Each structure stands twice: as structure tokens, then as C-alpha cells.
């Protein structure tokens, strides 16, 4: 399955943004080709003009040139998008400041209030020495924010102020800042539903190997054999006995005897094809780690303003933001869970395998990352999502013989809590903040981890 070839990622094309609202001419946006899986507009931020040019009443934002550096865009009409984020040239540079956006709803034509974008996002990334991080394509980035279908945007980024009395100079903003406007597009059509992918010419997304699937799609889908047939939109749920039998069959005799009694029931998992991944965007092939010793739980910090039916679109947007905007090889997380408890396959390579992710900088080796879609700093984590994390970890950790209530030792790849090479004892189910100084997965979700460990172990059948 690893011998499949993938087509090249298309080069972004330039497109002009329309003039709106009798406002200044917008900057040219660089947009990747429109595909069934969406598009990305990338617009450079500029120094904001005089006080007269600025929208008043922006909380926390200075309109005085003598105060901290401020960049942004004035209100303008753009092509439809649903997710926003800010990126900059150097991934090692931190954005010390505040990012705010407001957007215009496509349906109602009303502008939102100003919304804060989470600026601390570098810890959701590959390890410092990982090949993925050294590709030359990786950028610094804020967390993305889901805003729903929109056709207007205004953004302001202000650096931190200096210390009173001139003790510390104001921070400088990173160079090359741009706002990324991501349209998730529609899901790929079902196999053979429109005939476009079934002929000998295929489509422009890569060579066709089966009707309705390109080479890249087949590569990704084949990684889940024999748990689901090629081209499946979901991997069905199994009870504990059938999950164990399935795992033994799939492992071709390599599943350890110690793991067999404690494999939890497999939850239903929506595959990458099921949520509409454009497989031509990611790098070809897969990268694996040795085993799965721990599961790190995250929140996406994309906000809670989404309906469960929109979760596939949110994931497609995250995928584009991670790959095209941030420069990663694929979606960073191994799994995603929406607030209704649906589990989704994340990074390609096979749901039962030890796929190397880019989710917990310093601790991606021998671990898996599960992201709950939403922001759970002050909002309670939905019970359905918490239960889904327990069900998923009971199954996946069980495949590798891990007790969800136990502790394990991971070697740090480097970060702001633990130096590179340090052996760190952690809970088998940990929060992102256990490996890196961060708010993730939010106070409310982090507080649910003790009960998640207990539920996960019970589902495994542990005494």
C-alpha cells in the first residue's frame, strides 16, 4: 500500500478580491486552485493607516501610532470562506500580541463582533528535529477559527505593549504576516456518482485506480484494510469480542498475548474519504512511529460555533490550514471528535497503526493525538465528546497493550517544559498541557480526563 504514487500539489494561483462596501481596494490574494475540497485565499497584512482610517471601538486595539505595532486589513469583501487564521514566515518566531477578526455572514450579510484568535499554536506541531519540521515549508501560525460561511473580513494584529516607564520596548510582529481564508468546499462525490473519475483520463487530481478514486485516495483507504473495504466512508463499530478478533486477524499474528484480553470495543470511525479529504494536498506515503504508549487529548481552539453536521467541513478546513497554510505534511492529529461524539480518522496511514502525528511538540514519537473540535477553556466539554474519547482510547490503546489508567515514559524531543532527551513519566491518557506549557485542551476538557481514564479502562475490561 505504501508503493502508491501521489500527484503533485498544485501551485497556488493569484486572484484579485472584489471591491466591497465602498472601502479601499483590497490586496491581491493568492488562492490555491478551486477543487471539490475547497480553496485557500492568502492575503498579506499591512500596517494600519491613520486613526481616521480605522474602525472605532475595537477592544484592546490601539489607534495611536506611538503605541505598539499594528497590522491588519480594513473591512472588505472576499470569496466565500469558513475558517480564518494568521500565518507568518518563520515558524520559530512567536507572535506576542493580540489577533482579532470580524467577518460578514454569507447568509445574513451581517458583520460579527470582534473575535479573538488564539495566538499560541506552535506547540501543535512536529517535533523540533522531525523531518516534517525541516521541510522548508513550515510557517508560524495562530490557531484557526471557524466562523461559518462568510464573504467579508476585517483583521487587526497588535503587538504587546512595552513595560510602563520604558523598561521594556514594545514587541515586534513577525515578518510576512498573512491572513488565511479557508473554504472547505464540498465533500468528494460518492464513487461513480458523477462519472468524472471513472474514465481512462480520470480527473486532474491524480491517476485513477478504481472508479471514483484517485491513486492518493486509494493509498489512504488501503491503509485501513482489512478493517474496512477499499473506498469505505466509515469503519463500522464492533463489540469487544469482534474487535479483538478483528485486531488478531489484522495483525497477522503479531498482536501480543498480553494485549488481547484488553482491547476495547471499536467505535465507528468516519474515514478520510468519509469526511472528504483531498488526498492530493498531503505528502505521499506515511510515516510511522514504533508504538503507541500514550494518547494526548487536545481541543482545536476553533470555537464552538459549529453544528455537528458541519464537522466534516471543519476538519477539511483544518486539513487545508495545516497543509497549505502551515506547511505540514498532513493533518496534525491522528483522530478528531466532534461535540456529538462522532470519531473521525485524522492523519493518513491507518487507524489501527502507530502513525506519527504533529500534535504535541516534543512528544509525537510513540503517541497519538486526539482533538475534540471546539474551545473548552470556559465552555463545558460535551458529554458525548468525552465519552467518544474514552471509547476511542479504549480500543486504540488496547491494540498496543496500554492501560488507560496507567503511566508510561516518553522521551522528550524538546519543548518549553522538558529538555530534549529527558525521559518523562506521564499518564497514558494525558492532556496536551502535560507535555507543553499551554492552555490546551482547555480547563474544562482537561478536568474530564480522570473520568475518561476510568471509563476507557472499564471498556477494555480491566479489573
Q: CA-to-CA distance for 357 and 348, rounded, in angstroms?
A: 9
Residue 296: what pLDDT?
A: 97
Residue of 219, 417, 183, 404 whose CA lies nearest to 297: 404
Q: What string of pLDDT tens digits covers the 463 residues of the chain?
A: 333 333 333 323 222 233 233 344 344 344 443 345 699 999 999 999 644 344 555 554 555 545 689 999 999 999 999 999 999 999 989 999 999 999 999 989 999 999 999 997 777 778 777 888 877 889 999 999 999 999 999 999 999 886 555 556 677 899 999 999 999 998 754 443 332 333 333 444 455 557 778 999 999 999 999 999 999 999 999 999 999 999 999 988 888 888 899 999 999 999 999 999 999 999 999 999 999 999 999 999 999 999 999 999 999 999 999 999 999 999 999 999 999 999 999 999 999 999 999 999 899 999 999 999 999 999 999 999 999 999 999 999 999 999 999 999 999 998 888 999 999 999 999 999 999 889 999 999 999 999 999 999 999 999 9
| pTM, two decimal places | 0.85
Q: CA-to-CA distance for 415 and 120, rounded, in angstroms?
A: 14
**Three cell numbers at 390?**
474514552
Q: CA-to-CA distance for 40 and 427, rounded, in angstroms?
A: 38
Strand partners, 111: 104
- In the three-class reduction of DSSP (H, G, I as helix; E, B as strand; rest coil), residue 259 is classed as coil
- In the three-class reduction of DSSP (H, G, I as helix; E, B as strand; rest coil), residue 52 is classed as helix
Is residue 100 within 8 Å of 58, Cβ to Cβ?
yes
Going from the C-alpha of 12 to that of each of 39, 132, 176, 314, the distances in angstroms are 9, 21, 17, 21
Give long-range contacts, CB 8 A cutoff, 24+ apart: 28-31: 29/78, 29/79, 29/181, 31/79
Strand partners, 433: none
User: Cell 518549553 appears where?
Assistant: 416
DSSP structural state of residue 107: T
Dihedral of CA atoms 115, 43, 302, 187 in degrees, nearest 10, equals 130
Residue 12: what pLDDT?
A: 30
Q: CA-to-CA distance for 343 and 150, rounded, in angstroms?
A: 27
How far is CA 358 from its chain centroid?
Answer: 9
Amino acid at each position: 500500500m505504501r508503493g502508491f504514487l501521489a500527484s503533485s500539489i498544485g501551485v497556488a494561483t493569484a486572484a484579485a478580491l472584489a471591491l466591497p462596501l465602498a472601502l479601499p481596494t483590497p490586496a491581491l490574494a493568492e488562492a490555491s486552485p478551486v477543487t471539490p475540497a475547497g480553496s485557500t485565499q492568502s492575503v498579506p497584512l499591512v500596517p494600519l493607516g491613520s486613526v481616521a482610517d480605522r474602525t472605532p471601538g475595537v477592544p484592546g486595539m490601539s489607534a495611536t501610532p506611538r503605541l505598539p505595532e499594528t497590522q491588519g486589513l480594513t473591512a472588505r469583501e472576499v470569496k466565500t470562506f469558513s475558517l480564518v487564521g494568521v500565518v507568518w514566515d518563520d515558524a520559530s518566531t512567536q507572535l506576542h500580541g493580540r489577533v482579532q477578526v470580524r467577518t460578514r455572514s454569507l447568509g445574513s450579510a451581517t458583520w460579527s463582533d470582534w473575535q479573538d484568535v488564539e495566538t499560541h499554536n506552535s506547540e501543535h506541531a512536529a517535533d523540533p528535529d522531525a523531518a516534517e519540521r525541516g521541510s522548508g515549508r513550515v510557517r508560524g501560525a495562530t490557531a484557526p477559527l471557524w466562523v461559518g460561511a462568510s464573504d467579508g473580513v476585517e483583521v487587526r494584529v497588535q503587538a504587546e505593549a512595552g513595560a510602563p516607564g520604558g523598561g521594556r520596548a514594545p514587541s515586534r510582529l513577525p515578518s510576512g504576516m498573512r491572513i488565511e481564508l479557508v473554504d472547505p468546499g464540498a465533500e468528494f462525490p460518492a464513487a461513480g456518482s458523477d462519472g468524472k473519475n471513472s474514465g481512462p483520463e480520470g480527473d486532474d487530481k491524480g491517476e485513477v485506480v478504481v472508479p471514483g478514486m484517485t491513486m492518493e485516495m486509494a493509498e489512504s483507504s488501503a491503509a485501513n484494510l482489512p478493517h474496512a473495504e477499499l473506498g469505505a466512508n466509515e469503519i463500522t463499530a464492533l463489540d469487544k469480542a469482534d474487535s479483538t478478533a478483528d485486531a488478531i486477524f489484522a495483525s497477522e499474528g503479531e498482536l501480543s498475548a498480553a494485549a488481547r484480553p484488553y482491547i476495547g470495543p471499536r467505535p465507528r470511525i468516519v474515514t478520510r474519504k468519509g469526511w472528504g479529504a483531498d488526498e492530493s494536498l498531503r505528502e505521499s506515503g506515511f510515516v510511522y512511529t514504533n508504538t503507541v504508549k500514550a494518547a494526548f487529548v487536545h481541543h482545536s481552539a476553533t470555537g464552538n460555533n459549529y453544528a455537528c453536521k458541519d464537522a466534516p467541513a471543519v476538519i477539511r478546513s483544518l486539513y487545508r490550514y495545516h497543509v497549505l497554510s502551515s506547511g505540514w505534511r498532513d493533518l496534525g492529529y491522528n483522530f478528531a471528535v466532534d461535540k456529538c461524539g462522532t470519531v473521525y480518522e485524522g492523519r493518513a496511514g491507518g487507524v489501527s497503526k502507530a502513525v506519527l502525528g504533529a500534535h504535541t511538540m516534543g512528544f509525537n514519537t510513540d503517541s497519538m493525538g486526539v482533538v475534540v473540535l471546539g474551545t473548552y477553556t470556559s465552555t463545558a466539554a460535551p458529554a458525548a465528546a468525552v465519552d467518544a474519547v474514552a471509547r476511542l482510547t479504549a480500543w486504540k490503546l488496547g491494540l498496543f497493550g496500554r492501560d488507560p489508567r496507567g503511566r508510561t515514559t516518553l522521551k522528550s524531543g524538546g519543548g518549553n517544559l522538558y529538555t530534549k532527551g529527558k525521559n518523562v513519566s506521564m499518564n497514558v491518557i494525558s492532556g496536551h498541557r502535560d507535555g507543553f506549557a499551554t492552555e490546551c485542551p482547555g480547563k474544562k476538557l482537561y478536568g474530564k480526563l480522570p473520568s475518561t481514564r476510568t471509563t476507557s479502562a472499564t471498556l477494555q475490561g480491566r479489573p
